[in-house]
């Protein structure tokens, strides 16, 4: 099973709202990722968690706050977003293994976020 | 730093035509190489991978060979179907403690019946 699930599928929020995106995997992967994808562009890395600890933050604004409650779950808390933050938010996971065989990332279906 | 260059398209083919999407890369060391596919309104799916020189990744009729001498990983399929219409991303992972995937810009493929 190589499934990563994300909820909700679609989200519309105002600039003063607080909302959260959720991601779950049951593949035993110990690295999890948040990406942002704008239309007709490749995904852009936002955050990397390794063994539930934040290991990479790609200079993401503080209105995005990641959380990794356990090895299977990853959240992205959203607050005071701007209209330009509207995008597809993708979660991914991979084996936390430096071996050459295990570097592939498995992506969820994404949350389509619209900020009004 | 690492980079991936792929033909941007769009590419439009008739059903049963031969497909090639070119991908070249720049990386230090020995990266792993991937092709991902994104169907409309969906996330990315891993299509195939190769982890060392001369490896051939294959899946669903698609193939790509890791060519270190030409730093290339071109995607091919002998006979495309309408259902192959999607965006294809070439990507690499440099390995080590760096978990980042470096993506190409993506190629939109449209297959007409």
Put residue B29 in one of left, alpha, beta given phi > 0 → left and psi -120 to 50 → alpha: left
Percent of chain A with pLDDT over 90: 80
Residue-level pLDDT at A1: 62
Count of CA atoms in the C-beta half-sphere (13 A) of A100: 11
Asked if the Cβ–Cβ distance from A56 to B100 is below 8 Å, we say yes
Over residues A11-35, mean pLDDT: 94
Over residues B48-54, mean pLDDT: 94
Residue-level pLDDT at A5: 97
Residue A55 touches chain B, beta carbons under 8 Å: yes
Give the mean pLDDT of chain A: 92
How far away is chain B from the Cα of A109, in angstroms, using its nearest Cα?
4
pLDDT digits (tens, 9 = 90+) for B65-107: 999 999 999 999 999 999 999 999 999 998 655 678 999 999 9
Model confidence at A99, pLDDT cuts 50, 70, 90, reads low
Q: In the A/B pair of chains, how many CB contacts fall below 8 A?
A: 64
pLDDT digits (tens, 9 = 90+) for B15-30: 999 999 999 999 888 8
SS (H, E, C) A52-68: CEEEEECCCCCCEEEEE
Measured between beta carbons, the chain A residues lying within 8 angstroms of B32 are 100, 103-104
How far away is chain B from the Cα of A95, in angstroms, using its nearest Cα?
10
Give the span between the Cα atoms of A60 and A69, in whole angstroms.
20
Is the alpha carbon torsion for A53, A55, A58, A59 positive or negative?
A: positive
Model confidence at B35, pLDDT cuts 50, 70, 90, reads very high
In three-state secondary structure terms, B9 is: coil
pLDDT digits (tens, 9 = 90+) for A45-83: 999 998 999 998 999 999 999 999 999 999 999 999 999
Measured between beta carbons, the chain B residues lying within 8 angstroms of A101 are 51
**CB nearest A98 (choices: B96, B103, B104):** B96
Residue-level pLDDT at A95: 87
Q: Is the pLDDT of residue A100 over 70?
A: no
Count of CA atoms in the C-beta half-sphere (13 A) of A67: 9
Q: Is the pLDDT of residue A97 over 70?
A: no
Residue-level pLDDT at A59: 93
């Amino acid at each position: 099973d190589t499934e990563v699930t994300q909820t909700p599928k679609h989200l519309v929020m105002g600039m003063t709202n607080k909302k959260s995106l959720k991601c779950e995997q049951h593949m035993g992967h110990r690295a999890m990722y948040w990406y942002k994808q704008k239309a007709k562009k490749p995904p852009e890395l936002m955050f990397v968690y390794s063994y539930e600890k934040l290991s990479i933050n790609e200079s993401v604004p503080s209105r995005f706050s990641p959380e990794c409650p356990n090895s299977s779950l990853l959240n992205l808390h959203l607050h005071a977003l701007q209209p330009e933050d509207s995008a597809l938010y993708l979660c991914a996971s991979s084996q936390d293994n430096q071996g050459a065989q295990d570097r592939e990332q498995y992506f969820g279906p994404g949350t389509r976020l619209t900020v009004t | 730093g690492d980079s991936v260059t792929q033909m941007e398209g769009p590419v439009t083919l008739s059903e049963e035509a031969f497909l090639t999407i070119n991908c070249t890369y720049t990386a230090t060391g020995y990266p792993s190489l991937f092709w991902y596919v994104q169907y409309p309104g969906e996330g990315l799916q891993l299509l195939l991978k190769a982890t060392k020189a001369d490896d051939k990744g294959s899946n669903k009729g698609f193939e790509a060979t890791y060519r270190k001498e030409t730093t290339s990983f071109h995607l091919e399929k002998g006979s495309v179907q309408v259902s192959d219409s999607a965006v294809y991303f070439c990507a690499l992972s440099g390995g080590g403690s760096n978990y980042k995937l470096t993506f190409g810009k993506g190629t939109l493929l449209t297959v007409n019946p």
